Amino acid sequence: MHHEPVMLNEVLELIKNFPHSKILDGTLGLGGYSEAMLEAFPECRVLGLDRDSQAIDLACERLKVFGERFSALQKNFGSLGDVPDVNSFDVYVFDLGVSNMQITTPERGFSFQSDGPLDMRMNPDDESSMTAREALQQLDERTLAKIFWDYGEERFSRQIAAAIKRYRKPLETTSDLVSLIRDTLPQPVQRKMGTHPARRIFQALRIFVNDEAGELEALMSALGEFSHEALMIFVSYHSLEDRLVKKTFREWHSDGLGKILTRRPVTPSDDEIARNYKARSGKLRAFFTTRH
Ligand SMILES: C[S@@+](CC[C@H](N)C(=O)[O-])C[C@H]1O[C@@H](n2cnc3c(N)ncnc32)[C@H](O)[C@@H]1O
């Protein structure tokens, strides 16, 4: 199980220049960022959050060598306000999206490249949230088309939504959905796509199932309440997320909450993209809140 941390050097470089004795890693994943921070800054303590209990277990095992300097909580960052002493950290880091562990575990249903149940919940213990299979079954055609367009920018959103609703039997597996998409999109379009024909639909469903937009909005409003000095770092992989982070930073700046540290987003170097193609869409933005 491995996840190559994205723009790790850039994250460490930023943190180095600010107070960093207490760091909150809001998207722990497999603990790549946390491990590097604990190694680079021997005096710091890190609290890791993740909504995925499997990620928490794997990261805790990996980071147990750091003893009491590291602790973890299973939590959605959208409920940041519930974290004890949440406004006492010097640094808050959020590396949004899914981890490679989640994508490459077929039973989690995130991958269009391997067969598994259509689940896609980042927290599979959360029985209150819909699985991708339930979403495809229960939502009407217009709602599905809107999800595919808004979260996947899929040009064929309406055709695919219509095909899903026409399908003779319930879609149970990732392979069922991939075959349906392949059967629906015209061959010349598929040849020209330059990416897997199901990629955008899978991304859109994942964002919907996990309410990723709602989580990020709730997180930004919780952070906007803080009135202490803190460094906030976001790495996002989707234009919707990056736009929301950029807009919120501008609002914070004009409300006098602090300063934007990245006038333009930082992006991975060519070397990093060559090493880790999945990093290519990463955008890093940072803000420093002053005491107010
Ligand atoms: C890109 S990975 C983080 C990888 C990590 N930086 C590393 O280097 O190993 C994103 C992680 O954020 C978690 N996540 C996504 N949305 C979340 C949310 N709303 N609340 C808490 N964790 C979330 C996912 O479960 C996933 O493990």
DSSP readout, 210-279? TTHHHHHHHHHHHHHT--S-EEEEEEE-SHHHHHHHHHHHHHHHHTTSEEES-SS-B---HHHHHH-GGG
pLDDT of residue 30: 97
User: Ligand 1: which of 28, 83, 102 to mutate, most ligand atoms within 8 Å of CB?
Assistant: 28
Centroid of ligand 1 to alpha carbon of 227 (angstroms): 25
CA distance 199 to 132: 14
Buried b (16+ CB within 10 A) or exposed e, 236-249: bbbeebbebbbebb
Burial class of residue 199, CB neighbours in 10 A (0-12, 13-18, 19+): middle
Asked whether 136 and 118 are in contact (CB, 8 A), the reply is: yes
CA distance 76 to 96: 12
Between CA 203 and CA 207, with CA 205 as vertex, the angle to 5 degrees is: 70
- Residue 94 Cβ contacting ligand 1 at under 6 Å: no
DSSP readout, 70-127? EEEEE--GGGGGGSTTGGG-SEEEEE-S--HHHHH-GGG---SSS--BS---SSTT-T
Q: One digit per residue, pLDDT tens: the chain, 292 residues?
A: 788 999 999 999 999 999 999 999 999 999 999 999 999 999 999 999 999 999 999 999 999 999 999 999 999 999 999 999 999 999 999 999 999 999 999 999 999 999 999 999 999 998 888 999 999 999 999 999 999 999 999 999 999 999 999 998 889 999 999 999 999 998 888 888 878 999 999 999 999 999 999 999 999 999 999 999 999 999 999 999 999 999 999 999 999 999 999 999 999 999 999 999 989 999 999 999 998 7
- Per CATH, the number for 8-101+212-289 is 3.40.50.150
pTM: 0.96
Q: How many residues does the chain have?
A: 292
Pairing of strands 91-95, 258-260: unpaired
What residues does 285 pair with on adjacent strands? 234
- Residue 8 Cβ contacting ligand 1 at under 6 Å: no
Backbone φ and ψ for 212, nearest 5 degrees, come out as: -65, -35
User: Ligand 1: which of 9, 12, 15, 27 to mutate, most ligand atoms within 8 Å of CB?
Assistant: 27
Domain range 130-209, its CATH number among 3.30.70.270, 1.10.150.170, 2.60.120.680, 1.10.150.120: 1.10.150.170
CA distance 197 to 208: 19
- Nearest alpha carbon to residue 177 among 150, 196, 155: 196
pLDDT of residue 260: 98
Asked whether 35 and 63 are in contact (CB, 8 A), the reply is: yes
Centroid of ligand 1 to alpha carbon of 26 (angstroms): 7
pLDDT of residue 119: 97
Q: Which long-range contacts (CB under 8 A, 24 or more apart) does 141-148 make?
A: 141/165, 147/204, 147/205, 147/207, 147/208, 148/200, 148/201, 148/204
Tokens of 60: 């805790």
Ligand 1 atom with the shortest distance to the CA of 4: 8
User: Ligand 1: which of 6, 75, 99 to mutate, most ligand atoms within 8 Å of CB?
Assistant: 99
Ligand 1 atom with the shortest distance to the CA of 50: 22
- Residue 241 Cβ contacting ligand 1 at under 6 Å: no
- Residue 29 Cβ contacting ligand 1 at under 6 Å: yes
Q: What is the residue extent of each domain of the chain?
A: 8-101+212-289, 130-209
pLDDT of residue 111: 96
Nearest Cα residue to atom 8 of ligand 1: 32
